[in-house]
Chain A
């Protein structure tokens, strides 16, 4: 990156358009060279003296009482340091319950870091083996003899609440974790008066995140200091600090969480996993460092799964295309526990919150039920609830359009909330500051060249080739305030902080509480600080992921790093600029307000003429403060925190388009092209935003066509490996065009909203609508994902 600015790109908004602005420019990530040279430091690279490696003995049964555990043979195996059962570990670690008070009625059972009485899903840890190497730990783990008494297994969420179904946690009374009913307007009257009511049942298969780097932790309890240092690939270091302190009986100040390079998170790494807590507890118990790196098999059975929803949907529509009502009945299976501390009820809650949220329709009824089952736990994964709400809404809207013979574009034009109607509120009570459905739709149609596509589709159809066009608009929740978790009693911060400091050579050190997961948070932070303060970006160094050395904050989740962490960085950079200019003013005998910092130089604000370089200001302040006038005390450090307050969330919006080809003989679906228009407000770094959208789309297309955690009736995961669990690869993915509408939020000076959920939110819905468009000549409609060849052929009656 050259210090000279590229002035050909788009300029920022006036307030942000400082002479040396990096806002709105595709600045390369500062960590790019290090990572591409293989010089990153991931948890698995951390090696400490006396470090043991843990392998967990995991239950092969989905539901079984632990009768006895025989550990003598394992303890005698080569290299073994300790073999520890759940009962033994309970002496140093207390159990937890994954509930939040604002999700009224949500219940779950106490969960231990290692199961004590019984295992409740295939893969739950029942004992830990710590050895000199992971291989030795795995060898010894095979020698741990566990006597199980198998218990009846609950797998089918449809029958989980039946009276005849065993209750997984008898003390809870039933298998219902949570239930929510929401009614707005008068849905009964609206359905009764609708010209047409269309029903469909939608299925969303379980899938998981498949991070390139698996979950990993090195816990180092130093008995001399009484202090626990944890190296962990996590999205939320301060949350982990709080949880470990609480359950290991340590003051928070005695727990330091370090998060170095992370190889992808997507929500997988924002939760508290039993085996990770167990690793910290083992370190405290054994008074030595312990490393746990999940292998891929463990990842599939213990990384949170997502979705697994069945939604019965109804839409009422008039002959003129007016949508009169939406109704959903959502059922989801979350595994045997509600995940800690964010809970496993949030996805269902968001399905209720987001369904129909694109449209003006005021009549809405939603029922969501969240049930326990003996499968791996589900919890928040990228675009929590979004693809479900979007697919149901947009699937129903397409079916309604088809019923009344209306163009799918026209029905959306007629019903989306108009761009001039804001601020307003959805039928689910979501508050929208300002969205851009109309502008986004028109921009998408432009990008797709819909007329040309339809001509191509018609021409192909004459040759017996079945192509289809689908669109799906969506709303996206970003920049969450305390409304997500804090109000429910979780000690998960929704505010973030940034400290900026100028060193003795005029370079800027930044410490931010948001975390870098590979998404580029450090790049955005550096851009914002460089712009606010006024230095070339290569003079800004950003540190994240260290509870000892960054301000307190939430970390990275729900698309908050740029919008919340970025604003804190902006404010901190401005304050530091003011502090430095006040000292420069004293040195130059000038008014600080007549000076500015640009490109690393103190200049006259009016003319841009150089007055003195920053390193000279720093030299005087740090080494010759005796030459400063009396009363001038340089404070070359500033901290600012930020949290949105006017709106609980910064909602954004967008729309996606898909063009597919369905081979009606084989059931294969080929993605020909994909488009997305999204509105994340101010675009801080166009390249990073586009890559967020593209990556998100791929994570939406995967479950649309490929990704599915397949369980049998015994609760056994059948495809927990990279050969049988189909993650889409580059060859399967279409070209993806990304466009933008920019509606900055007025809450912050930067105006940035999040962009991380957008791609995932609408991808499956667009593809599903495209597939159904392609299959329209057959009169066939698919409403369950993944849309596999087998499902397509069955729908077509070919097999």
Chain B
């Protein structure tokens, strides 16, 4: 479990990093927090010729509020999101979800940009970004471009990021006062990747549900927006029967695979369970609580 030999470069500016990336092309790999990359190197699953370290680039760091949205530098570490009062105020869904990302040691080192670019389909943050309607800023040799989160995630470990591009920032629209959120996941152990999880937002017009946006993780090759299920509830007053019908529609929204822990079939079952529980949390006034709390 020793990584194969590689060269190492630590640029101190974004321009320097982009230049290095242009120079080394496919042989290069960007390293952010290293929480997924370093194990992959040690397992010799990857053998890049050179690592370009983004940790010395100040302009990629930090959380701020700009023009009605939240700006997260791609090299912001999970722990900073976890502790940020700005995040708690403007994106409480993120503040809740971040505590489910691995363990404190990983969150201390891991970065939001690294997490999103790794694009693990079981990861919490990609689904949150899709639920929140975030936009990603990608810098490349020809300047910047902005991509909506739901277009960024293409497949298993696959994103819209070009080989010569670097994710620099994430913009999250600020939560309106009427927005509600719910986050639930089922993981075998605390900090494990979820068997299945849901990150969702919604608004209520009186007792009518509006703009319900349920996004599942570990339920398909990338964050899966459950449009069919949402359409059952949006514009209606949520009842137990409607929630049941919406949960049934999830079979059309999700395309999970089986793995060592659980079969694809059981994933759908669990997705339905947490969907019902998530909706019950979104509208506690509707009294939709299931027979019991999540035991996990």
Contacts and interface: CB of A to CB of B under 8 A. Distances in A.
B189 A463 contact: no
B90 to A, nearest CB: 29
Interface in B156-188: 186, 188
Contacts of B3: 135
A719 B260 contact: yes
A135 B269 contact: no
Contact of A670 (B2, B261, B295): B295
Interface string A492-511: 00000000000000000000
Interface residues of B, number: 31
B269 A726 contact: no
B66 interface: no
A661 B295 contact: yes
B260 A732 contact: no
B190 A663 contact: no
Contact of A139 (B4, B266, B296): B4
B295 A710 contact: no
A798 B272 CA distance: 12
B143 interface: no
Interface in A652-677: 661-666, 668-670
A602 B291 CA distance: 72
Nearest to B262: A790
Interface in B50-101: none
B35 to A, nearest CB: 12
A706 B189 contact: yes
Which 4 residue pairs across A and B have the least CB separation, nearest first?
A464-B291, A663-B295, A731-B190, A295-B1
A212 interface: no
Contacts of A455: none
A506 to B, nearest CB: 47
Interface in A116-156: 134-135, 138-139, 142
Nearest to A786: B188
B138 interface: no
A603 to B, nearest CB: 54
Contacts, number: 88
Contacts of B43: 297, 721
Interface string A719-750: 10101101011011000000000000000000
Contacts of B154: none
Q: Is the interface of B mostly helix, strand, loop or mixed?
A: loop
Residue among B262, B270, B295 with the highest chain A CB neighbour number at 10 A: B295
Nearest to B195: A789
B108 interface: no
Interface string A390-419: 000000000000000000000000000000
Interface string A695-731: 0000000000010001000000011010110101101
Interface string B277-296: 00000000000001111111
Given A134-B2, A729-B190, A798-B269, A670 B296 contact: yes
B26 interface: no
Contacts of B261: 788-790
Nearest to B268: A799
B292 A465 contact: yes
A458 interface: no
Contacts of B260: 710, 718-719, 724
A717 to B, nearest CB: 11
A296 interface: yes
Nearest to A133: B2
B144 interface: no
Contact of A464 (B190, B265, B270, B292): B292
